[in-house]
């Protein structure tokens, strides 16, 4: 492949991973990115002039990135520092109950026993056993492999392993499966939240998402200096291996010849010829013709149900009362109603669950005194689940006549007030000194063709993991990377998608 040239469209984590992997194989790579810098959804905002991670906030499956650096002969730890999180998350309910989930199984087991009794702790033990079996069976055979179908996956697993994985109840919803382990509704709510990691409802997402429990127990880390440092480190790694980055370059359309992609044209009229093109964007952009009519056939038409969007707040604020951990989740009192509003009514939730990342607390003991206020303002990032814009609705237009839609300013203001009320009822007092809000319309503008959906298509139904497109599109020479492609959303998954795209490009161009 020494003489081949590849263009990567998009410098999100999938595009960066792909570019580095290709460059390590000796391929000439150009990355074209519409934004002013790398990272995609791994972004920072600046309330009060202070940088706050306003996308992913932690790193899991760090070996995925260690392997990527190793491909180029370098070491991840020489470029980035990590703070392991012994407390994965603190969970709170407005009735005053709290539960910490730990990276250490024994600590979580003891905490759950004290919180809900020995029967629930025994259920947690069985849950972790089955989550580990799912992870061990699917990580190499599905998540890190070119997208297999159901039959191919079963063949890879073999009859014994496939039978063992029935513990994941593949035809059940995550919520239904959790009922086999936990009677306490708070624990079902806690572990049902894994569905939101892929922008989906726990009442419709498949039980296989249980494996996220094992992913987190493998280690959750905060990146020293913020997650944006990871995107910067990958960009610098690629540049050292000869990758050319052009920022502020939005691609207008793909060009074709002899039935395959031959290059791309940017909005300033520049032409970049290529033996292969990797698209690190939402596949819906291709299906909608945003890169030219000929590109529409590359993937299936836009799916009928897309994932969640989000209403996020980056705050510079003084805190008092509740002892925040690095991750704290404040749960709504009616989870079913919350997701009915999000997916069935496509409304902002009237009582939202609130995820809060206290980004200055990665190295702070999680057992800080409950009454101690911070000496000064700290960096907080809040995520509230929100529906994506209705199909066909453009950013900047009123939703549902301006009444209850996810883009309606009144609905957003109401959800913000409800979120702050929940935090207050749980004991957290905030004095906000700086705020940056990003809502569904903003995400729709930032990431074209998504309608604000952050995670691509919703992962609903047992078949959903098999419906994402693989690295190879239907058009020769055009490949896919990112959260909309196999194996799906999440920082390590997106990085894996980039490596799978690079492997596919390398295999095809080597023939």
Say if CB 20 and CB 234 are below 8 A apart: yes
DSSP state of 37: S
DSSP output for 329-370: EE--S-HHHHHIIIIIS----SS--EEEEETT-TTS-TT--T
Tell me which H or E stretch contains 230: helix 228-240
Please give the C-alpha separations between residue 189 and each of 180, 203, 350, in angstroms, as whole numbers.
13, 10, 17
Residue pointed to by tokens 């995609």:
40
- Which pLDDT value is given to residue 165? 63
Record the tokens describing residue 104, joined without a space: 């250490």
Angle at 167 between CA 161 and CA 170, to 5 degrees: 95
Residue 307 in tokens: 């994932």
CB 228 within 8 A of CB 44: yes
Q: What is the pLDDT of residue 369?
A: 43
| Cα separation, 409 vs 417, whole angstroms | 12
In angstroms, the CA 185 to CA 362 distance is: 29
Helix (H, G, I), strand (E, B) or coil at 464: helix
Fold classified for 5-42+227-303+463-509: FAD/NAD(P)-binding domain (3.50.50)
Instruction: Answer for the pair 88, 220: CB distance below 8 angstroms, yes or no.
Output: yes
Task: Please tell me the total number of residues recorded for the chain in this structure.
Answer: 511
Tokens of 153: 């996956």
Bridge-based pairing of strands 87-92 and 98-102 is: antiparallel
Q: How far is the CA of 422 from the CAs of 121, 176, 379, in angstroms? A: 28, 27, 19
Q: What six digits make up the tokens of 88?
A: 């994965």
Q: What are the DSSP calls for 270-282, one per residue?
A: -EEE-SEEEE-S-
Residue 107 confidence (pLDDT): 98
Q: What's the pLDDT at 156? A: 62
Structure tokens at 365: 């003991």
Q: How many CA atoms lie within 13 A of 40 on its CB side?
A: 30
As beta bridge partners, residue 348 has: none
Report whether the peptide linkage leading into residue 487 is cis, meaning its omega lies within 30 degrees of zero.
yes
The whole-angstrom separation of Cα 92 and Cα 511 is 56
Residue 371 CB-density burial (10 A; 0-12 exposed, 13-18 middle, 19+ buried): exposed
Biggest distance spanned by C-alpha atoms of the chain: 70
Quote the pLDDT of residue 398. 44
Question: What pLDDT is stored for residue 103 in this prediction?
Answer: 95
pLDDT tens over the chain, length 511 residues: 557 899 999 999 999 999 999 999 999 999 999 999 999 999 999 999 999 999 999 999 999 999 999 999 999 999 999 999 999 999 999 999 999 999 999 999 999 999 999 999 999 999 999 999 999 989 888 899 997 766 576 666 665 455 456 655 667 899 999 999 999 999 999 999 999 999 999 999 999 999 999 999 999 999 999 999 999 999 999 999 999 999 999 999 999 999 999 999 999 999 999 999 999 999 999 999 999 999 999 998 866 689 999 999 999 999 999 999 999 999 999 999 999 999 999 999 999 999 999 999 986 554 444 334 446 999 999 999 999 997 655 555 544 333 334 567 888 999 999 999 999 999 999 999 999 999 999 999 999 899 999 998 999 998 888 889 999 999 999 999 999 999 999 999 999 999 999 999 999 999 7
Of residues 250, 287, 252, the one with CA closest to residue 474: 287
Q: How many helices (H) and strands (E) does the chain have?
A: 14, 20
* 242's tokens: 């000869």
Read off the pLDDT of residues 242-269 as tens digits, 9 standing for 90 and up. Answer: 999 999 999 999 999 999 999 999 999 9
Query: Quick one: tokens of 498?
Result: 């980039």
CB atoms within 10 A of CB 339: 24
Domains of the chain, residue spans: 5-42+227-303+463-509, 104-217, 308-446
Q: Which residue has the tokens 């502020």?
A: 248
């Amino acid at each position: 492949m020494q003489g081949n040239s590849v263009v990567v469209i998009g410098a999100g984590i999938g595009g960066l991973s792909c570019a580095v992997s290709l460059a390590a194989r000796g391929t000439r790579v150009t990355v074209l990115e519409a934004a002013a810098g790398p990272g995609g959804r791994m972004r920072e905002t600046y309330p009060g002039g202070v940088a706050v991670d306003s996308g992913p906030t932690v790193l899991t499956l760090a070996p995925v990135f260690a392997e990527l650096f190793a491909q180029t002969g370098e070491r991840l730890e020489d470029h980035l520092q990590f703070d392991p999180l012994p407390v994965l998350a603190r969970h709170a309910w407005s009735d005053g109950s709290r539960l910490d989930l730990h990276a250490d199984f024994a600590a979580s087991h003891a905490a759950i026993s004290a919180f809900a009794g020995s029967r629930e702790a025994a259920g947690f033990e069985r849950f972790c056993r089955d989550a580990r079996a799912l992870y061990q069976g699917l990580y190499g055979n599905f998540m890190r492999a070119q997208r297999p179908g159901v039959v191919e996956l079963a063949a890879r697993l073999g009859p014994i392993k496939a039978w063992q994985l029935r513990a994941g109840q593949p035809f059940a919803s995550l919520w239904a499966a959790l009922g086999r382990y936990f009677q306490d509704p708070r624990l079902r709510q806690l572990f049902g939240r894994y569905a939101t990691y892929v922008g989906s409802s726990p009442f419709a997402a498949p039980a296989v998402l249980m494996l996220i429990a094992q992913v987190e127990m493998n280690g959750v880390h905060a990146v020293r200096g913020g997650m944006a440092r990871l995107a910067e480190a990958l960009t610098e790694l690629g540049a050292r291996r000869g990758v050319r980055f052009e920022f502020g370059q939005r691609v207008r359309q793909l060009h074709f010849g002899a039935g395959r992609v031959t290059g791309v044209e940017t909005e300033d009229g520049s032409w970049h010829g290529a033996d292969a093109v990797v698209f690190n964007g939402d596949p819906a952009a291709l299906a909608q013709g945003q890169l030219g009519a000929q590109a529409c056939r590359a993937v299936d038409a836009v799916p009928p149900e897309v994932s969640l969007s989000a209403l996020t707040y980056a705050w510079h604020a003084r805190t008092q009362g509740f002892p925040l951990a690095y991750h704290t989740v404040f749960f709504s009192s009616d989870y079913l109603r919350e997701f009915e509003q999000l997916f069935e009514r496509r409304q902002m939730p009237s009582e939202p669950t609130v995820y809060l990342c206290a980004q200055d607390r990665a190295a702070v003991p999680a057992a800080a005194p409950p009454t101690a206020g911070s000496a000064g303002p700290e960096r907080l990032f809040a995520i509230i689940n929100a529906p994506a814009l209705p199909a066909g609705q453009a950013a900047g237009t009123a939703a549902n006549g301006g009444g209850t839609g996810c883009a309606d300013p009144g609905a957003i203001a109401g959800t913000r007030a409800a979120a702050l009320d929940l935090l207050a009822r749980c004991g957290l007092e905030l004095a906000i000194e700086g705020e940056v809000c990003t809502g569904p319309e903003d995400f729709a503008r930032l990431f074209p063709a998504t309608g604000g959906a952050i995670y691509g298509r919703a992962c609903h139904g047992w078949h959903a993991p098999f419906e994402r497109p693989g690295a190879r599109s239907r058009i020769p020479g055009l490949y896919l990377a990112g959260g909309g492609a196999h194996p799906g959303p999440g920082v390590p998954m997106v990085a894996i998608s980039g490596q799978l795209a690079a492997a596919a490009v390398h295999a095809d161009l080597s023939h």
